[in-house]
Amino acid sequence: MRYCRQCKIKIADPTNICPLCQSVLEKTGDEREKADSMYPVVGVHRKGYKLILQICAFVCFVAIIVLALVNYLTYNGVMWSIICDAGILYLLVTLRFTLFNAHEGHTMKILMQVIAVMLLTLLIDYIIGYQGWSVAYAFPVIILVADMLILILMMVNFRTWYSYILLQMAMLILSGIIGAYILLNHMGNTLLAGCAIGVSALIFLGSVCLGDIRARNEIKRRFHV
């Protein structure tokens, strides 16, 4: 029995390559136990990662309390400690769900990072007096950066480039929501939002059209249609 980490499925056929995404399969069960017994454990054990994460969480918790106390004692009308606390929480989320989470693929990690950074910029905008720059400028730039990262990952992982179609679709939906919000609220500057929508749509449609059967099969597999 073999396991595909990318598709998260077990395959009983005697093959070393996943028939869906062409990734190299991993051994499971008795095969993995036999293979593991042949070689020493190399690298940091998972318990070590957990201990590091716990230490970071404790340090961050202490930092949050200290910053809140300093902000209270030196309050001048701005709750800057909330911005710092949000940045600390973002760091913890990054450590927990991105760096120390081997079970999630690149798609969910990138999507989680995009959403987390958007929420962080929105909070900063709100704390210093909401001006709308987070939605009109920061959000489209974040999506454009994510689009460029998707293209780089597709080129690096050329054989499994179609596995990023779901992420492309998510960027297109997010950019569309942001563009609609800017238009409905008459924010004025729609250039960046338009660029984000255009680039996201171009990448997604290009993947679907040029990818042919593999791209369509990936969409069907993801949405179970």
pLDDT per residue as tens digits for the range 134-184: 898 999 999 999 999 888 988 888 777 777 888 898 999 999 999 998 888
Task: Specify whether the CB–CB gap between 1 and 31 falls below 8 A.
Answer: yes
Residue 67 counted as domain residue? no
In a domain, 188, yes or no: yes
User: Residue 224 domain-assigned?
Assistant: yes
Please check whether residue 187 lies inside any domain of the structure: yes
Domain span at residue 162 reads 128-225
Contacts of 193 (CB under 8 A, 6+ apart): 136, 139, 140, 175, 178, 179, 182
Q: In angstroms, how far is CA 202 from the centroid of its own chain?
A: 20
Tell whether 199 is covered by a domain. Answer: yes
* pLDDT tens digit sequence for 92-132: 877 777 666 655 567 778 888 888 899 989 988 888 888 88
How far from 185 is each of 125, 139, 195, CA to CA, in Å?
16, 15, 18
Choice between 218 and 68, residue whose per-residue pLDDT is larger: 68
Q: What is the mean pLDDT of the chain?
A: 79
Q: pLDDT digit string (tens) for 11-70?
A: 777 777 777 776 777 776 655 444 444 444 444 455 666 777 788 888 888 988 998 899
174: CB partners within 8 A, 6+ apart: 114, 139, 143, 200
- d(C-alpha 82, C-alpha 84), whole Å: 5
Q: How many domains does the chain have?
A: 2
Nearest of 166, 22, 178, 21 to residue 108 by alpha carbon? 166
Tell me, yes or no, whether 175 lies in a domain: yes
> What pLDDT sits at residue 35?
46
DSSP 3-state of 2 = strand
Residue 126 is encoded by which pair of tokens?
A: 């709100």
Contact 64, 88 (CB under 8 A): yes
Q: Is residue 214 part of a domain?
A: yes
The pLDDT score that the predictor gives to residue 32 is: 47
Q: How far apart are CA 105 and CA 16, in angstroms?
A: 20
* Other beta carbons less than 10 A from residue 29's beta carbon: 11
Q: d(Cα 75, Cα 81) in Å, to the nearest integer? A: 10
Q: Is the pLDDT of residue 199 over 70?
A: yes
Give the pLDDT of residue 39.
Answer: 46
The reply to whether 77 falls in a domain is: no
Q: Report the distance separating Cα 213 and Cα 167, nearest Å.
A: 18
* pTM for the predicted model, two decimal places: 0.68
